[in-house]
Structure 1
Amino acid sequence: MSELSNGKVYLVGAGTGNIAYLTLRGKELLAEAEILIYDALVDSQLLALVPADCLQIAAGKRGGQTSTPQDRINQLLVAYCLQGKQVVRLKSGDPFIFGRANEEIEALQTANCDYELVPGISSALAAPLLAGIPLTDKYLSSCFAVLSGHQPEQLDWQALARIDTLAILMGGRTLSVIVGELIANGRSPQEPVAIVCHCSQRQQQVFWGTLTDIVSKTEQISLSPAVIIIGQVVSLSSQYSDRQLPLKDKTILVTRASEQASNFTALLERQGAKVIEMPALVITPPSSWQELDKAIATIELFDWLILTSANGVNYFCDRLLSLGKDYRVLGKLKIAVVGKKTADVLYKRNLQPDFIPPDFVADSLVVNFPEALNGKNVLFPRVETGGREVLVRELTSQGGVVTEVAVYQSQCPDRLEPSVWQALQQKQIDIVTFASSKTVKNFYHLIERELPADTKPESILETVSIASIGPQTSKTCVELLGRVNIEAVEYTLEGLTEAIQEASK
């Protein structure tokens, strides 16, 4: 390590590119990166894990496309390390499987730079598994080989033809040569073949065939990136595949605030869905804390505190504590919450709600309120603009004296993520989900910005099912998008997941 620098380079395997299959160590290092140098096959969701001030440098190499020379990548790693930076070199798959990591390590060693290797899940292992194909089997495959099909003329096909199972990377362009060599060296023309394209990604496809017909079946199809699996174990796919999962083969767009999307994504992925996260809300502190601070200073004057969102709970509690107070000042205050998630967040703060309306919706809060509201002072910490006007009106009509204070802002992102727009244009999305009216409105405006002036946003959703968490959200969907195809019976994310499963049967 250089005496002039405390920099370090981490050669991190990104795995298949899907954030779900990134290692914990990889995630930890991305969160601390000052410089990120990444491959072409890295998913954009991984890039979102780095700090906002991290310098991101695309350094991918793709066949037939403009690529960053390896020497240039080596120079960048050394230069930033010697500047004392924490550098993450994010490589597709595993750094030591066709990753040219050895060349980068040699450059770092020559410059006396410190480095660390972090393994990743190679698509050579993940792609067969995700297609339900075991690389080994007690009866059909006692061994397997992983090879690159990039330069087939350099391989010993006579030896490879005798190996039970082959997993071939970078072989899409040379598929016909690979097939010809295997048949010429004694492999049966009826040997099963599977080609997994875009392993673990939303656009993952699997092509099935034999050595006889796989070339004709994939003619005119881009097979990059792809893993080619050849062997009798391919026939076991129907036995081991997870196709019984109800949302298998469904690609679902989740529109939520970026910090809130992961839980819903996990629910859907457990049912086999491929999920694309599209932040439709940007959550920030309010433009001023003045009104909230004033309310907290006179908190003993209020009878009820009403919280209608997880954001409301978190921002209110955090501000309370930042002002040097603790939860004991809420001792005489009764708390009503709307929504199961809101209640869960409150419980995590070691606070107990006094009232949760049935059906988890605001509409039933006033109707089922546990005591007369006449003359009661109600503190309502809420989003700064555009939320719960009906609730405030209903509380007031019942005689409640409502004090509204802004605790956070919920804004529309500046732009639509390019990968999301591409997926919508290419009809790759089956279902789009909405968990609030505001996400519907923001989604509509983001789509509207991308389309020509005379084109309506709903036109891009002709083949997409629209899923809503509840009646109010559904109403906004109908107003802006013209329809709702799926509505949750229980107005929670779990309920929405169940409704999507039921509709997909």
Structure 2
Amino acid sequence: MSNGKVYLVGAGPGDVGLITVKGYRLIGQADVILYDHLMPMELLQLARADAEVISVGKFASKHTMPQERINALLIEKAANNKMVVRLKGGDPFVFGRGGEEVEACAEAGVDFEIVPGITSALSAPTYAGIPPTHRDFTANIAIVTGHRRDEKELEIPNAGTIVFLMGVANIQKIIDSLLKAGFSAQTKIAAVENGTRYNQRVITGTLEHFVQTVREEKLGTPAIFIVGKVVELHEKLNWFGRKPRVLVLGTHPEKYTHLGTIVHRPMVKCVGLEDCSQLDRALERLETFDWLIFTSANGAKYFFERLKCKGLDARSLASMKVAAIGKTTAKRLTAFGIVADLVPEKESSTGLLEKFGALEMMNKKALLPQARVSSAELPDGLAALGATVEQAAVYETVEIEPADVDLEHIDKILFTSGSTARAFVKKFGLVPAHIKAYCLGKPTQASAKEHGIEAEIVPQQDK
């Protein structure tokens, strides 16, 4: 028996935040990852740089790789003493053929473990504001596959709420089976398309007219159907549908959850510079500076990487004070043993200047590690206060191809830097009329305007 092992991991229904803690950890440890398409693709960003990541397809009725080949691949990779994570949408044992995959492992003598996931059968109704069970409506629920092998009849259980999975192509057969089983034509039914994702759509109706309704609405996959009186609660409890959907193009999307449902599609990434001579010259005379000012977590990261390369550490900063543009940057600094002396409440160059304006800055020397292309607002503002500012480029931003996003399902867009505005216009053109645009600060707002984007400054989070 090899030392390899297969972990069958439920990736959850679509919202990347619904992965279990154990599943999250295993993805980052795996030597090999086999994944389906009906799972949050963002999870693959957790994989090690040297991990082998293999798509095995599994769209509705379209399998890139036959199930038998998937089973064989799991065994083959584990036999090579690999830690294998098999990522499956939802829960691997709820209509996911996970049982067949670990059966194959068991028969081959391959060690395995199952990590449950949140099934769409429960999470999609929850995100649609439809509780599958409710004391005033029903005390039981049944989960049924919407299609049967060899065209067998659908078995309709006697339950107050019935959830059908994988049934979009079979909606007529599902309705007919329900009516044949004695359900009233006026029974409530809902379809939840792309459940828990930013582009979730909910369609409600009654059995009598629902086939026509979903055809008119052009219902797509993946989708589930919920049948029962609990569907009546959708309008009242539709919490997710009321949240604005916010496209964030830069880093640290977790900082903006107060704005709505975050759709993170980075269009730029930060990379270190090959030529660090500008910073190196400053590092040779750190003792001459009064202030070290960081305007981003990336600036801190690349500054301290270069400091280490020069054989230095935080002790070399003892003679100066340190400022951070906001809480995220300040938190990043703590990883390097630095507690910022100055952190403005308003996370922007304007916020920093307001703080420095209350200090005596005449003839003070400030070192400003930043991106190669940066706004002049902060250095010019410090100079106006009488400070001598030395700017040192420590990284640059490069454009990257973003993951797919349907702008029809976006309500707001947040530009976190001038480079994100430039990249957006290059990729998509102008911001669609139905989307409200925001920028983190005035320099980004000015850059956005240069690219034909009218945007407001993003509102601060209430304390």
State the distance in 2 between where 1:55 and 1:190 align: 51
Quote the residue 1:301 is aligned against: 288
Paired residue type of 1:481: G
Work out which of the residue numbers 296, 304, 318 in structure 2 matches 1:331.
318
State the distance in 2 between where 1:354 and 1:10 align: 46
Aligned partners of 2:271 and 2:397 also within 8 Å: yes
Paired residue type of 2:321: K
Return closer, same or farther for 1:474/1:183 CA change in 2, 3 Å cut-off.
same
Is structure 2 residue 365 aligned with structure 1 residue 377? yes
Work out which of the residue numbers 413, 416, 423 in structure 1 matches 2:402.
416
1:163-205, Cα deviation, whole Å (9 max, x unpaired): 2211111122222222122222221111111111111112211
How much has 1:26 moved relative to structure 2? 1.1
1:95-114, Cα deviation, whole Å (9 max, x unpaired): 11111122212221222212
State the distance in 1 between where 2:293 and 2:313 align: 18
Q: What are the equivalent positions in structure 2 for 1:158-237 lying under 5 Å apart?
A: 160=157, 162-220=158-216, 221-237=218-234
1:73-97, Cα deviation, whole Å (9 max, x unpaired): 1121111111222211111111111
How much has 1:69 moved relative to structure 2? 1.0
State the distance in 1 between where 2:394 and 2:254 align: 23
State the distance in 1 between where 2:339 and 2:68 align: 60
Aligned partners of 2:141 and 2:162 also within 8 Å: yes
TM-score scaled by length of structure 2: 0.89
Return closer, same or farther for 1:397/1:469 CA change in 2, 3 Å cut-off.
closer
The sequence identity of aligned pairs, in percent, is: 33
Work out which of the residue numbers 54, 74, 79 in structure 2 matches 1:82.
79
Work out which of the residue numbers 250, 258, 264 in structure 2 matches 1:267.
258
State the distance in 1 between where 2:182 and 2:452 align: 58
1:207-262, Cα deviation, whole Å (9 max, x unpaired): 1111112112112523422111111122233343326xxx72532210113xx223
State the distance in 1 between where 2:283 and 2:59 align: 57
Quote the residue 2:95 is aligned against: 98
State the distance in 1 between where 2:5 and 2:175 align: 44
Q: What are the equivalent positions in structure 2 for 1:273-288 lying under 5 Å apart?
A: 273=261, 275-288=262-275
State the distance in 2 between where 1:261 and 1:472 align: 20
Return closer, same or farther for 1:336/1:89 CA change in 2, 3 Å cut-off.
closer
Paired residue type of 2:294: L
State the distance in 2 between where 1:35 and 1:290 align: 40
Work out which of the residue numbers 448, 464, 467 in structure 1 matches 2:435.
464
Aligned residue for 1:75, secondary structure, equals helix
Return closer, same or farther for 1:229/1:359 CA change in 2, 3 Å cut-off.
closer
Work out which of the residue numbers 449, 453, 459 in structure 2 matches 1:478.
449
Return closer, same or farther for 1:325/1:195 CA change in 2, 3 Å cut-off.
same
Aligned partners of 2:14 and 2:194 also within 8 Å: no
Quote the residue 1:454 is aligned against: none
Aligned residue for 1:279, secondary structure, equals coil
Aligned partners of 2:13 and 2:90 also within 8 Å: yes
Aligned partners of 2:250 and 2:265 also within 8 Å: yes
How much has 1:394 moved relative to structure 2? 4.5
Quote the residue 1:488 is aligned against: 458
Paired residue type of 1:480: H
Aligned partners of 2:154 and 2:174 also within 8 Å: no
Paired residue type of 2:445: S
How much has 1:440 moved relative to structure 2? 1.4
How much has 1:365 moved relative to structure 2? 4.9
Work out which of the residue numbers 229, 245, 249 in structure 2 matches 1:251.
245
1:395-435, Cα deviation, whole Å (9 max, x unpaired): 4465533332233332222x233x13xx13xx232221112
Aligned partners of 2:325 and 2:349 also within 8 Å: yes
Aligned residues: 460
Paired residue type of 1:7: G
Aligned partners of 1:194 and 1:207 also within 8 Å: yes
Aligned partners of 2:413 and 2:436 also within 8 Å: yes
How much has 1:56 moved relative to structure 2? 2.2
Paired residue type of 2:442: P
TM-score scaled by length of structure 1: 0.83
Q: Which moved more, 1:338-347 or 1:435-444?
A: 338-347
Unaligned runs of 5+ in 1: 448-456, 499-505
Paired residue type of 1:483: E
State the distance in 1 between where 2:368 and 2:362 align: 16
Paired residue type of 1:145: A
Quote the residue 2:70 is aligned against: 73
Quote the residue 1:437 is aligned against: 418
Return closer, same or farther for 1:131/1:390 CA change in 2, 3 Å cut-off.
closer
How much has 1:46 moved relative to structure 2? 1.8
State the distance in 1 between where 2:104 and 2:352 align: 65
Aligned partners of 1:173 and 1:223 also within 8 Å: no
Aligned partners of 2:6 and 2:78 also within 8 Å: yes
How much has 1:289 moved relative to structure 2? 4.1
Is structure 2 residue 50 aligned with structure 1 residue 53? yes
Return closer, same or farther for 1:401/1:24 CA change in 2, 3 Å cut-off.
same
Aligned residue for 2:124, secondary structure, equals helix
Aligned partners of 1:168 and 1:229 also within 8 Å: yes
Is structure 2 residue 375 aligned with structure 1 residue 388? yes
Paired residue type of 1:444: V
Q: Which moved more, 1:318-327 or 1:204-213?
A: 318-327
Is structure 2 residue 31 aligned with structure 1 residue 40? no
Q: Which moved more, 1:123-132 or 1:398-407?
A: 398-407
Return closer, same or farther for 1:46/1:327 CA change in 2, 3 Å cut-off.
closer
State the distance in 2 between where 1:63 and 1:394 align: 57
Q: Which moved more, 1:336-345 or 1:91-100?
A: 336-345
